[in-house]
């Protein structure tokens, strides 16, 4: 299957899925998400694939976020649909997949990029990688599961600090916060991901599927924070601050928010 914005490569029982829009820092536009959905669905079904490594093309970015140029015309319904569709067709499919998925974070993992990495079961970062959820700089909040998964990984206080300041963490800071499992030199990123995946692939596949499912059920309460996130993300699209944030990014200037 040939894709335009992703590359799918098999190496033994490992399938690489590489986001391949280097000129846009591998930003996730709608089309890329559709391709990811297709590739992931195939990979989880394929008996020849034992596990998946997701990475980005080049050395600058894993994924620099959702494609901001597609935000400008969205209203509350459009924003809500975007979050719901993205979560159900890509991010939840990865998190709830029956095979291990490792994110090899080769550069910027921002917004939807960090959310993509956080949906994976294990994260390995190059020492040059930078990670953050800068959505509030655009008048938005994370919409692809970021508020929930970051909180699960680093705890409520650190998650709120990162989301509200929009600060980026270095790879070393992400390691000490528990956001990534390992940090390695860029040249060693894929070898390290393969080493871990190859070890996992010597284990019992059905037990791996059960382990993923069971660990994912940890801490699930009656309140579905993902639903709250979808609603609140959608609501942001009805604000003037959102229009200002996105226009400022596209016009390459500093946003001036008015709290409306
Ligand atoms: N959506 C759409 N396009 C993006 C993008 C995104 N999330 N992130 C980067 N790009 C594009 C830029 O617009 C630019 O395109 P152009 O060359 O056609 O103008 C190209 O990728 C290179 O990015 P640029 O900003 O010139 O690189 P930089 O090295 O100066 O800065 C970043 C790198 C990551 C700091 C900066 O691109 C950035 O802040 N990106 C947005 C991050 C973000 O807010 N993500 C969350 C979205 S919800």
Residue 151: pLDDT band (50, 70, 90) is very high
pLDDT, residue 227, reads: 87
How many percent of the chain have pLDDT more than 90? Answer: 86
Residue, of 235 and 114, whose pLDDT is higher: 114
pLDDT, residue 66, reads: 97
Q: What is the pLDDT of residues 155-201, one digit of tens each?
A: 999 999 999 999 999 999 999 999 999 999 999 999 999 999 999 99
pLDDT, residue 258, reads: 87
201-209: long-range pairs with CB below 8 Å, 24+: 201/13, 201/14, 201/50, 201/51, 201/100, 205/50, 205/99, 208/98, 208/99, 208/100, 209/98, 209/99
CA–CA separation, 6 vs 44, rounded Å? 17
Residue, of 181 and 222, whose pLDDT is higher: 181
Task: Report how far ligand 1's centroid is from the alpha carbon of 62 (Å).
Answer: 12
Is the Cβ atom of 17 under 6 angstroms away from ligand 1?
no
Q: Is 124 within 8 Å of 196 (Cβ atoms)?
A: yes
Q: Please name which of 217, 125, 137 lies closest in space to residue 179, comparing C-alpha atoms.
A: 125
pLDDT, residue 236, reads: 93
Best residue among 25, 130, 141, 150 to mutate for probing ligand 1's pocket (most ligand atoms within 8 Å of CB) is 25
CA–CA separation, 52 vs 40, rounded Å? 9
Task: Report how far ligand 1's centroid is from the alpha carbon of 64 (Å).
Answer: 6
Q: How many helices (H) and strands (E) does the chain have?
A: 11, 10
> Annotated catalytic, 35?
no
SS3 per residue for 167-191:
CCEEHHHHHHHCCCCEEECHHHHHH
How many percent of the chain have pLDDT more than 70? Answer: 98
CA–CA separation, 85 vs 69, rounded Å? 18
Residue minimizing CA distance to atom 6 of ligand 1: 67
Is the Cβ atom of 165 under 6 angstroms away from ligand 1?
no
Residue minimizing CA distance to atom 44 of ligand 1: 134
Residue 219: pLDDT band (50, 70, 90) is confident
CA–CA separation, 16 vs 43, rounded Å? 10
Query: What contacts 59, CB < 8 A, 6 or more positions away?
Result: 106, 107, 126, 128, 186
Is the Cβ atom of 246 under 6 angstroms away from ligand 1?
no
Is the Cβ atom of 112 under 6 angstroms away from ligand 1?
yes
Mean pLDDT on 51-80: 97
Is the Cβ atom of 115 under 6 angstroms away from ligand 1?
no
Residue 49: pLDDT band (50, 70, 90) is very high
Query: What contacts 118, CB < 8 A, 6 or more positions away?
Result: 145, 146, 149, 150, 153, 179
pLDDT, residue 213, reads: 87
Q: Say if residue 1's pLDDT is above 80.
A: no
Mean pLDDT on 105-134: 98
Residue minimizing CA distance to atom 1 of ligand 1: 67
Q: What is the pLDDT of residues 78-117, one digit of tens each?
A: 999 999 999 999 999 999 999 999 999 999 999 999 999 9
pLDDT, residue 221, reads: 67
> Which atom of ligand 1 is nearest to 140's Cα?
48
Secondary structure (DSSP) of 46-66: -TT--EEEEEESTTTEEE--B
Helical H runs in 87-131?
A: 92-95, 112-119
pLDDT, residue 228, reads: 83
Task: Report how far ligand 1's centroid is from the alpha carbon of 211 (Å).
Answer: 37
Strand locations in the chain (E) = 6-11, 14-19, 51-56, 61-63, 101-105, 108-110, 122-126, 130-132, 169-170, 182-184
Question: Coil, helix or strand for 13?
Answer: coil
In angstroms and rounded to an integer, the radius of gyration of the C-alpha atoms of the chain is 17
Task: Report how far ligand 1's centroid is from the alpha carbon of 59 (Å).
Answer: 14
Query: Active-site residue among 4, 70, 115, 232?
Result: 115
Task: Report how far ligand 1's centroid is from the alpha carbon of 46 (Å).
Answer: 34
> Annotated catalytic, 135?
yes
Mean pLDDT on 21-45: 98
Query: Active-site residue among 4, 38, 70, 135?
Result: 135
Task: Report how far ligand 1's centroid is from the alpha carbon of 177 (Å).
Answer: 25
């Amino acid at each position: 299957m040939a894709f335009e914005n992703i590359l799918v490569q098999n190496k033994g029982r490992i399938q690489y899925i590489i986001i391949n829009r280097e000129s846009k820092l591998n930003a996730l536009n709608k089309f890329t998400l559709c391709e990811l959905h297709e590739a992931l669905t195939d990979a989880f079904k394929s008996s020849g694939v034992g596990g998946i490594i997701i990475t980005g093309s080049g050395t600058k970015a894993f994924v620099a976020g959702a494609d901001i140029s597609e935000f400008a015309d969205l209203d509350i319904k459009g924003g809500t649909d975007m979050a719901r569709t993205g979560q159900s067709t890509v991010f939840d499919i990865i998190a709830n997949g029956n095979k291990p998925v490792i994110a090899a974070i080769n550069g910027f993992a921002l917004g939807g990029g960090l959310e993509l990495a956080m949906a994976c079961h294990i994260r390995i970062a190059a020492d040059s990688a930078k990670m953050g959820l800068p959505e509030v700089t655009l008048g938005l909040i994370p919409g692809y599961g970021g508020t929930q998964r970051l909180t699960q990984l680093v705890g409520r206080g650190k998650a709120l600090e990162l989301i509200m300041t929009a600060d980026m963490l270095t790879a070393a800071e992400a390691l000490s916060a528990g956001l990534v499992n390992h940090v390695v030199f860029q040249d060693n990123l894929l070898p390290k991901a393969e080493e871990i995946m190859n070890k996992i692939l010597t284990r019992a596949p059905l037990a791996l599927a059960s382990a993923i499912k069971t660990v994912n059920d940890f801490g699930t309460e009656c309140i579905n924070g993902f639903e709250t996130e979808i609603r609140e993300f959608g609501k942001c699209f009805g604000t003037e601050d959102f229009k200002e944030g996105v226009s400022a990014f596209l016009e390459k200037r500093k946003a001036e928010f008015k709290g409306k």
